[in-house]
Amino acid sequence: MKKIILICLVALTFAYAKDSVEFNYADENTQRKNPTSQNFILSYNNVLENVRTSVVNISTRRTISSGRAYGNPFNNRQEQMPQGASGSGVIISKNGYIVTNNHVVAGADEIKVSIAGDKKEYSAKLIGTDAKSDVAIIKIEGKNLNAVTFLNSDKVKVGDVVFALGNPFGVGETITQGIVSATGRSGIGIVEYEDFIQTDASINPGNSGGALINSAGHLIGINSAIISRSGGNVGIGLAIPSNMVTSIATQLIDTGKYTRAYLGVGISNVNEDMSSFYDNKYGGLIISVEENSPASKAGLKRGDLIISINGKKVESASGLKNIIGSFQPSRVVNIKFLRDKKVDIINVKLGSLDNQIASGTLNYKGMDVVALPTELQKLLRASANIRGGVLVDNVELNSEAYSIGIIKDDIIVQIEDNEILNIDDFKTSTSSLNKKRIYLFRRGNIFAIVL
């Protein structure tokens, strides 16, 4: 009997030991090293001294309105008042091209640039802007300026030591230190195309457009925004990655505007419930395909999961959007996708996003127009004998549409001699670059403007 009990105890002990946890311990021989001594100072001065003259202070002056005058719906500036603002920028060429944020220079009547160690104040010319990514290019007349060195931002890793250079609160040239907290941040809602590098280096108002530099002195991003309830730094700074910056800057310098490629699909992420249908892969899930779009012509269908483009892995729907948006129209790309748990590859010639209807919205001269809701359309027919139109859903601050007085909820009913009944009519009537008479319905009246 005693033998039987002993055997049982041994078995129980073995069973318990089988499920026990084994801890991983550090090597006990790990040595501490003191980085400081009387003859040794830990410093990045040699790296930062070279790059500090690549980062500039930008000051702007613009005219703002003191209020709206409702007597005349288009006289929405009762009194013009000058306003000053400051930000930062980064020199990207020896002959004076500078990258900054769109929101730093948007609507500016005057742009001035100063460089550390240079007493001269330069007048800058606006070359081009891209509000969808918040990138802008300006230029000063200069020679042999200290152009920054770029790093491929795909090589940036979480934990890399970084420095934020800029002009916070207008106090002057300032450098702060931190690490890369995350990469590929999107879905924040700051701009339409988001692929931010997140850092805990202190970024404050005025740092916008400044440089995010790694410990080797290379530019990895342009500081763009912070997430904060108070408006001050709380350790969540966001920078536009250098690869996005160079792609956009090249086209802005060449043509003055940035035109994105267009695939023509509605996309979403693969949620947990859906993942088993797609072998637990990540990517951009096609939920709709627009008629006569590049995707439709190539044979892509609803339910296809795009997993890579030109060999670059697609991690999410926003990642797919950013990759497509980084290409220029007419580019042929190699798309790998999953359909019915089988991987297929096709080549697609991309179209142009300019004047394409995306999610039912069309952007023109800084205003977003959408189809009239059915109930509003019925009301207009009954009360104002208006057969149709398009609704202004949003107007970007300091855009061309804003500058002439167009506001949210205006209804565009006619352009030149063309009655506007729907989005397609609007798209056709705005296809040329000529000035146009646009007729708006607002608060029971129709007004004409030139845009």
**Sign (positive or negative) of CA dihedral 78, 81, 86, 91:** positive
Tell me which amino acid residue 96 is.
G
Catalytic residue among 103, 114, 153, 160: 103
Sheet strands side by side (includes 80-91): 121-123, 110-115, 55-65, 80-91, 97-100, 135-139, 125-130
Is the CB of residue 183 less than 8 Å from the CB of residue 198?
A: yes
* Candidate list 86, 181, 208, 224, residue with the active-site label: 208
Q: What sign for the dihedral angle of Cα 217, 223, 226, 230? A: positive
**3-class SS of residue 386:** coil
Active site (annotated) includes residue 103: yes
For 1, 169, 245, 319, 395, the CA distances from 315, given in Å and listed in that order, are 63, 37, 20, 6, 32
Neighbours of 311 (CB within 10 A): 7
Using CA atoms, how far apart are residues 243 and 262, in angstroms rounded to an integer? Answer: 19
Kindly report the backbone phi and psi dihedral angles of residue 290, in degrees, each rounded to the nearest multiple of 5, phi listed first.
-75, 145
Euclidean distance between CA atoms 9 and 15, whole angstroms = 10
* Candidates 59, 86, 130, 134; catalytic one: 134
CB atoms closer than 10 angstroms to residue 257: 12
> Active-site residue 134, yes or no?
yes
DSSP state string for 40-69: B----HHHHHHHGGGEEEEEEEEEEES---
To the query of whether residue 208 is one of the catalytic residues in this protein, the response is yes
Torsion of CA 218, 220, 224, 229, to 10 degrees: -110
Active site residues: 103, 134, 208
